[in-house]
Amino acid sequence: MSDAASDAPFEEIRAGNLGLRLADGAAEMDAAQALRFRVFYEEMGAQADAATAASRRDADAFDAVADHLLVLDHDLGDGPEAVVGTYRLIRRPAAAKLGRFYSESEYDISMLAAYPGEVMELGRSCVAAPYRSRGTLQLLWRGIAAYVFRHRIELMFGCASLPGTDLDALAPQLSYLHAHHLAPPALRARALPERYVAMDRVPLDAAAAKAALMELPPLIKGYLRLGGFVGDGAVIDAQFNTTDVCVVVKTELVTEKYYRHYERTAGPGREE
């Protein structure tokens, strides 16, 4: 893109000792992959194949085409040693290099991939345990808002995870999402037939629905606060020890809070 917002440097966003910016170079991407391994495999119980166990990195082909948001603790340094959080962002041109989005291994996202505006897939989000605070999550959302504004993203989506694969334990959360946040038909990705798990599992009264909402992971609650929807059907990801839902967010609310700030920093010449 040639507009000023897209061409301007992605400046680091600071919040005290924490900063957020895009990964710069192979060493910082490696640090993000190492963090993902520690969180997904050592902490959350994902099952590593031999290559993953040997490298102690969570890596796949999508990393090379994606942009990687990083949270850095500048008390630890200014480069790879400071990485304490990450989020992977894949736009349509990047996905085209591999012929697909990551989510297509779990969902039919054809209606999302064909959306007429700019689209972005989010995934591989994780934060080191000592930094899992509301402030860090807000910093990540500020970074996503800046990226969305920069690239004029109109729709973002991705597989968001509930911990574990016990469908009975997760039934209230899945049922709540299906009952209250199901995407409209035009944006309703559907789990692939061979992986489809029904989400409307148990009836929920008002009290049970409120309790289920409170039990959702913070990231999913963040999507919902922005008016996000979920697709039809959940998917069990045995490798990562999670149960996934497809989240879809139209980005108007993502950038609303930060719009004026980024409009000021984008410089003259930006077209509406």
Question: How far, CA to CA in Å, does 149 sit from each of 9, 118, 121?
Answer: 13, 11, 15
pLDDT of residue 88: 98
Q: What is the pLDDT of residues 101-130, one digit of tens each?
A: 999 999 999 999 999 999 999 999 999 999
Say how many C-beta atoms besides its own lie within 10 A of residue 67's C-beta: 16
**pLDDT reading at 263 higher than 70:** no
**pLDDT reading at 261 higher than 80:** no
pLDDT of residue 152: 93
Measured CA to CA, the distance from residue 255 to residue 146 in angstroms comes to 7
Q: Region 92-104: what's the mean pLDDT?
A: 97
Q: What is the pTM of this model?
A: 0.90
Q: Tell me 234's DSSP state.
A: B
* Residue 269 or 69, more confident: 69
Contact 219, 125 (CB under 8 A): yes
Q: Tell me 110's DSSP state.
A: H
Q: Region 235-261: what's the mean pLDDT?
A: 84
195: nearest Cα among 160, 236, 161: 236
**pLDDT reading at 187 higher than 60:** yes
Phi, psi (degrees; rounded to nearest 5) at 179: -75, -35
Q: What is the pLDDT of residues 18-62, one digit of tens each?
A: 999 999 999 999 999 999 999 999 999 999 999 999 999 999 999
Q: Is beta strand 229-230 parallel, antiparallel or unpaired with respect to 242-250? A: antiparallel
Domain limits, the chain: 4-266
- CATH class of segment(s) 4-266: alpha beta
Measured CA to CA, the distance from residue 73 to residue 90 in angstroms comes to 24
Q: Region 3-23: what's the mean pLDDT?
A: 82
pLDDT of residue 252: 84
- Return the residue matching tokens 């957020």: 20
Q: Can you list the positions of beta strands (E) in the chain?
A: 13-15, 18-22, 67-73, 83-91, 107-108, 118-127, 153-163, 190-191, 229-230, 235-237, 242-250
pLDDT of residue 253: 74
**3-state DSSP call for residue 79?**
coil
pLDDT of residue 8: 62
pLDDT of residue 3: 46
Measured CA to CA, the distance from residue 212 to residue 200 in angstroms comes to 13
Measured CA to CA, the distance from residue 141 to residue 71 in angstroms comes to 11
pLDDT of residue 55: 98
